[in-house]
Amino acid sequence: MVVAPGNWVVLNLGPRYLGGGEVISLNLGTDWNDTPVEPVVRGLRNDAGLRWGRTRATRASVLVGWGASALLSAQAVPGWGSAAAVERQASLSWGLTPLLKSSSTLHWQIAAGVRPTSMLLPWTSLPTAQTQIGIQWYSSLPGLRAASRFAWSSGRASHHSVGVTWSASPDARHASWAAPWRALRQGRRAATLPWGSAKPLPWIVSPPKPDPDPDPEPVFPPGNLVALSLGCALISTPGLAPLNLGATACYLARPQQRTYVVINSISVVRIPDRAPIEVEGVSILSSVDAWGISFDLDLADSTQLALLKPTAAGPRQVEVTLNGYVWTAIIETYRKQREWNRVGVSLTGRSRTALLAAPYAPARVKATTEDRSVAQLVAEELADTGFTADYGTVDWLVPAGAWFYDGTPAMDAIARLAGASGAVVQSDPASQQLHVRARYPASPWDWRGTQPDHVLQEDIITSESLQVRSAPLYDAVIVTGELAGKGVTCKVRRQGEAGQLFAPQASDPLINTSAAGAERGRNILSDRGEQAAIDLVIPLFGAPLVPGQIGRVQPLDLVEVVGEAGTWHGLCTAVRTEARADSKALVIEQTITLERHYTDAN
Amino acid sequence: MRTDLWDQFDGLVGPSPRLLATVTAHNADGTSSLVTYDGAQMRAIGILGSTIPYNVWVRDGRVVEAAPNLPIVEVGV
């Protein structure tokens, strides 16, 4: 049994309750243990009626509550004005929508305010926005302010959290994108640089390069001898005084001309009677490796072959003149070729110095008994031959008995005399003269400071070819005499170098003095390093020459080539002069072979 | 023409230089130990039999003949 608290009294009608407390045991005349017979008593219904009365009392209290609400509605009437009560209820529910809209505008205002401030203080500005929203709600809806305020405050918090992510993410994106774009620009810069350097190239080629040599200092004569040096040929124009001053008027005197005009002429005559010979073509070859000059002629009139056949006086001699330059030769062979109605005759010959060698000259025997210089020995070889010698290299005294030979013609003896000091023998093209000159008149390492024999402008080169010919970079050589008491052993060393890489030894009975040995060693050491044999085809300008033109080039001439890429020097080692006459024109070209030294020169 | 032909042929054959060297020893195998003026050590077939040291001419690996002992001059070019 459960004991109810308060004013409730429990009546125990059986069985007997022994628990005590607030339970009153009430025996109604029956045993405690008997099951009570429940009487049918109608009075209990009255008790039920009392319970219904309580219910009414509860309803009455509810009526009192409604009375209080009427008072509240009376207070609300002045606030909402003249509108109906039902309509206000409906308008209140709808009124939330404009409030939402107004709150949304506030979002924008706050969001706009948060963005600039969030860059500086993003988290401190968030609570301030929430309090402003709460104030707006208090003024618009007093009845629903408590619940709606909490909801909106939480909504604002979510909106603000979104705003913070926006403020953070665009910045992060901008930062992350800026870095790769900078890297790309750097790559473009690296690609732009080679293009920048390649652009000036065509502009370098276009303008004509000025003469690298500085203008010579003007030499002013004394006051009483003032003269006008115009420096170029006078050009007379009607109405203008022939004073060629300035670069424009001196155009023809410039080294680099726009056009080069060469008028070719060819003339072949038989000497000594100067009978004219008609030729179609002439080829003349001279080289430092040979003392003679070889000729090839093609006759235009085959009947003139009779003029050139040998006689009892020996081979015929001819004189070839190309653009004013003279060569002389002896005709040694001819070949006639018949082709249909045309007979072609080609002849070959050599320079007249061939008369000093076999088979024309006799082999002789000689042994000196007195001291002689080399130049004297050369002159002795040419005595009574009609030829003279131009000895143009180192001369020294040959002791008596040191110069001897047997079975040697004059030319071979002269070649031996010249070869002792590293010189070569060259035939004069026109006159009966021999030139004895060093194989390297100037050492390659001195070429840059040597006055060249010819200055060749690159403009007039019509063809160019190159063949590499290199040698070890020797810097010492042993040159020795062969006769006891009449020679020396020279250890020739290139100045300023180690002197450890020796060229092959050279010996000659005529190395009698150190001067001879040094000159022989100089010519040996000159042929070293990186070299090239460059063939240049150039026209043959006739005299008088103006600057920019070049005349006949001969072997051992030092040529300075002025080109776009710079100036370089080369020693002429071979020249082939060719003249071809056909129905159209007469072309004369000379192909010069220049020995260029890259290591010792330029 | 003929001179050119001879020069071209001579260039093909190549030089056969005659070397001046000093004999430093006679070997039992019939060779001579030599030293050249540029300091190179070499050997050549043949013994001339003079008193060591003496100069000889060497061509193509053979001792050809005796050579004079000339004064040595050092020059620069």
Q: Which pLDDT belongs to residue A584?
A: 77
Beta-bridged to residue A577, according to DSSP, are A284, A590
**Euclidean distance between CA atoms A411 and A389, whole angstroms:** 11
What chain A residue is nearest to B16 in terms of C-alpha separation?
A: A504
Percent with pLDDT over 90 in chain A: 51
pLDDT in tens, A88-140: 444 444 444 444 444 444 444 444 344 444 444 444 444 444 444 444 444 44
- Over 80: is that where the pLDDT of A169 sits? no
Q: B-chain residues within 8 Å CB-CB of A355?
A: none
The minimal CB distance from A484 to the residues B68, B73, B77 is found for B68
**Euclidean distance between CA atoms A568 and A212, whole angstroms:** 12
- Over 60: is that where the pLDDT of A347 sits? yes
Q: Are strands A558-563 and A454-457 parallel, antiparallel or unpaired?
A: parallel
Between helix A44-80 and helix A85-118 the angle, nearest 10°, is 60
B23 touches chain A (CB under 8 A): no
Assign A149 to helix, strand or coil: helix
Q: Which pLDDT belongs to residue A64?
A: 43
pLDDT in tens, A303-344: 999 999 999 999 999 999 999 999 999 999 999 999 888 899
pLDDT in tens, A174-207: 434 443 444 444 444 454 555 555 555 555 555 5
B5 touches chain A (CB under 8 A): no
H-helix segments, A252-386: 374-381
pLDDT in tens, A555-586: 999 999 998 889 999 999 999 999 998 777 89
**Considering only residues 30 to 59 of chain B, which have any Cβ-Cβ distance to chain A shorter than 8 Å?**
36-38, 40
Distance from CA of B3 to the nearest CA of A (A): 6
Q: Between chains, do A482 and B73 touch, taking CB under 8 Å as contact?
A: no
**Euclidean distance between CA atoms A275 and A76, whole angstroms:** 151
What chain A residue is nearest to B67 in terms of C-alpha separation?
A: A482
Give the mean pLDDT of B15-20: 80
pLDDT in tens, A253-265: 456 777 888 899 9
pLDDT in tens, A521-554: 999 999 999 999 999 999 999 988 888 889 999 9
Question: Contact, A535 vs A510, CB < 8 A?
Answer: no
Question: Contact, A321 vs A295, CB < 8 A?
Answer: no
Instruction: Find, among B15, B16, B20, B26, the residue nearest to B65 by Cα.
Output: B20
Q: A-chain residues within 8 Å CB-CB of B3?
A: 290-292, 294, 350, 357
Q: Which of A210-219, A267-276, A290-299 has the lowest mean pLDDT?
A: A210-219
Instruction: Find, among A17, A39, A14, the residue nearest to A27 by Cα.
Output: A14
A485: left (phi over 0), alpha (psi -120 to 50) or beta: left
ipTM: 0.88
* Long-range contacts of the stretch A17-20 (C-beta < 8 A, 24+): none
State which amino acid sits at residue A299. Answer: L
Q: Between chains, do A480 and B70 touch, taking CB under 8 Å as contact?
A: yes
Distance from CA of B26 to the nearest CA of A (A): 23
The minimal CB distance from A290 to the residues B4, B20, B70 is found for B4
**Euclidean distance between CA atoms A283 and A281, whole angstroms:** 7
Q: Which of A50-59, A170-179, A453-462 has the lowest mean pLDDT?
A: A170-179
Q: Which pLDDT belongs to residue A417?
A: 95
B65 touches chain A (CB under 8 A): no
Question: Contact, A291 vs A411, CB < 8 A?
Answer: yes
Other Cβ atoms closer than 10 A to A235: 13
SS (H, E, C) A183-211: HHHHHHHHHHHHHHHHCHHHHHHCCCCCC
Q: B-chain residues within 8 Å CB-CB of A507?
A: 17-18, 20
Instruction: Find, among A305, A334, A331, the residue nearest to A320 by Cα.
Output: A331
Q: Between chains, do A492 and B19 touch, taking CB under 8 Å as contact?
A: no
Residues near A561 by beta carbon (within 8 Å), at least 6 away in sequence: A456, A458, A536, A567, A568, A569, A570, A594
Question: Contact, A546 vs A457, CB < 8 A?
Answer: no
What chain A residue is nearest to B21 in terms of C-alpha separation?
A: A505
**Euclidean distance between CA atoms A569 and A450, whole angstroms:** 10
pLDDT confidence bin for A433, thresholds 50/70/90:
very high
Distance from CA of B75 to the nearest CA of A (A): 5
Q: B-chain residues within 8 Å CB-CB of A285?
A: 4
Cα dihedral A88/A94/A98/A103 (nearest 10):
110
0.80 surpassed by pTM:
no
B14 touches chain A (CB under 8 A): no
Question: Contact, A572 vs A594, CB < 8 A?
Answer: yes
Assign A72 to helix, strand or coil: helix
Quote the tokens at residue A469: 């010919």
